Amino acid sequence: MNPFLPDPRKAIACLLLAAVPTIAYPRHSPAETWSLGIAGGYAGRFDATSTTYSWNSRPGTSIAPGTTIWSMQLLRDLDQHVGLTGHATYLPYGDAIRSNRAEHVAVAIGARYYPVAEGEQRGRLYLELSPALVWSRWRVRNGTDAESFARPGLVAGVGVHGALIRRLGVDAGLRYFVSTGPETRPVGTTDVQTLKGLRQLGLLVGLYYAL
């Protein structure tokens, strides 16, 4: 099995288990202060196609079908229903030895909306929408050269935010990453690869610390 790709069933089970304290605990992180968080999770399949101008051409090679993702996040509640959020999420696919390799970093700043006011529910459900800049880099299998570019995008999400102890909080949610594309560029001297824009659904669970 590709070391970049955990078993999806185990990944989902761990994420759901980690989300239990978020839903069960009746408080959330302190308002009117910045909270810094780190999150991990799992995102679905990403596709790219490559054409090699040689006798052993393998057009249509796909990037690996799923990956572990990581995110650094910043959060501040502005009032009972609105919060400011910023995050940088890393989505790596493949290993460039047995398959193609694609890496994406989505940097987003946006807003959260809490439908129910503070103190009226166990944990805080939220909706999130953030304009983003997505940096992408890829390399074809056994290639030595890499290409990179940046494109505008969007990150939308839904989840629940709760507290553990004192200033430590936990957050669990779904994120949908979108960027413009496709992008076709030469890689090395004999390869051309078409990299689709992001259309990725990911599940993230993270810990927050109120500063």
Per-residue pLDDT of the chain (211 residues; tens, 9 = 90+): 443 344 555 555 555 544 444 443 434 444 557 899 999 999 988 876 656 555 455 555 566 678 999 999 999 988 888 999 999 999 998 776 666 778 899 999 999 999 876 654 457 899 999 999 999 887 766 655 667 888 999 999 999 988 778 788 889 999 999 998 766 666 555 666 677 778 889 999 999 998 8
158 C-beta neighbours (distance < 10 Å), count: 12
2 assigned to some structural domain: no
119 assigned to some structural domain: yes
3 assigned to some structural domain: no
49 assigned to some structural domain: yes
What is the domain extent for residue 77? Answer: 8-210
Scanning the chain, the segments in alpha helix (DSSP H) are 8-24
CATH number at 93 reads 2.40.160.20
Residue 29 is given by DSSP the state S
**pTM for the predicted model, two decimal places:** 0.77
What are the structure tokens assigned to 177, written together?
């990453």
Number of domains in the chain: 1
Select from 120, 122, 113 the least CA-distant residue to 84.
113
Select from 2, 33, 48 the least CA-distant residue to 194.
48
What are the structure tokens assigned to 128, written together?
């999130």
